[in-house]
Amino acid sequence: MTGTSRNEDLAASGSVRVTNPQGAGRYVFTCDHASNAVPSEYGTLGLPEAELSRHIAWDPGALPVARLLAEALDATLVETRVSRLVLDCNRPLDAPDLIPPVSETTPVPANADLGRAEREARVALCWRPFHDAVETVVQDRLAAGRAAWLISVHSFTPVYKGVRRPWQIGIIHDDDTRLAAPLIAGLEARGDLTVGVNEPYSPADRVYFTLEAHARSRGLPCAMIEIRNDEIADAAGQARWAQMLGSILSQVTIATADGAPPVSQRSISPPAGDAGRQTSRSTA
């Protein structure tokens, strides 16, 4: 993926971006770790520049997949525009790794021993705008009598702390399986995929916060998609996975009061233009 620098991207778009807010489809996608952008005042957080291309800083490939899915399903997409090393928007405010002093095995010098004022400044910079945006999208849809089925799109590294992960994709869910079950069934039915069910993470790992805050709190259908990032390292892989997932999601039916038919799907093509703004030089 090529394009503008991390800081230019952040300056141009702010800390959150909402695409297609009036989308007619049922789905609302979030990409909680979409960017490796670090505001200029934080420099490189005390890290070598190359570290900000690694998975510790973002979810490589996740944003292009989320954009393709949103386009195909006429869905709304809410994406973060700040690296999770500055603050992880998919964590509650009291989480010990909200602003991680260590990410995986890498110490983040600028995150050590932060005072309250600095923590609050980072929350105001990205956490509140992101969650305010998701909340506004969901509230507006529900107020208009429209469905809001939330799906969070992530990627994971093939090797974590020296341990290889065999799953090509993981579907994360709690006891609400209205979206997770058809996703899992559709993926497993192909016969050529290694599918993780609550792997490589589960809600017990505190990775379900965005969905808990905006969907589970209202009883809305939701699920989390984790794609191994070597599968979506280029446009062809991103389009392949978006097509596969979009085809399954377009067929999901859940009983609703409005009795509306399932979402329709448009064709998915590889991302172009600004669909891959952040530069990924390596994926750990």
List C-alpha distances in Å: 144 to 72, 95, 266. 22, 34, 24
Q: At 250, is the pLDDT very low, low, confident or very high (cuts 50, 70, 90)? A: very high
Q: At 255, is the pLDDT very low, low, confident or very high (cuts 50, 70, 90)? A: low
Tokens of 148: 């809001």
Query: Which of 63, 39, 36 has its CA nearest to residue 51?
Result: 36
Q: At 66, is the pLDDT very low, low, confident or very high (cuts 50, 70, 90)? A: very high
Residues 6+ apart with CB under 8 A from 168: 193, 194, 195, 227, 228, 231
Domain boundaries along the sequence of the chain: 6-254
pLDDT, tens only, 105-150: 899 999 999 999 999 999 999 999 999 999 999 999 999 999 999 9
CATH superfamily of 6-254: Zn-dependent exopeptidases (3.40.630.40)
Burial of 144 (0-12, 13-18, 19+ CB in 10 A): exposed
**pTM, two decimal places:** 0.87
List C-alpha distances in Å: 157 to 99, 154, 168, 197, 215. 20, 10, 10, 16, 26
How many percent of the chain have pLDDT more than 90?
82
Tokens of 113: 């021993």
Q: Which residue has the higher pLDDT, 251 or 162?
A: 251
Taking 90 as the threshold, does the pLDDT of residue 5 lie above it? no
Q: Which helix (H) or strand (E) holds 160?
A: strand 159-160
Instruction: Report how far residue 274's alpha carbon sits from residue 284's, in angstroms, rounded to the nearest whole number.
Output: 24
| Phi and psi at residue 245, to the nearest 5° | -70, -40
Taking 90 as the threshold, does the pLDDT of residue 256 lie above it? no
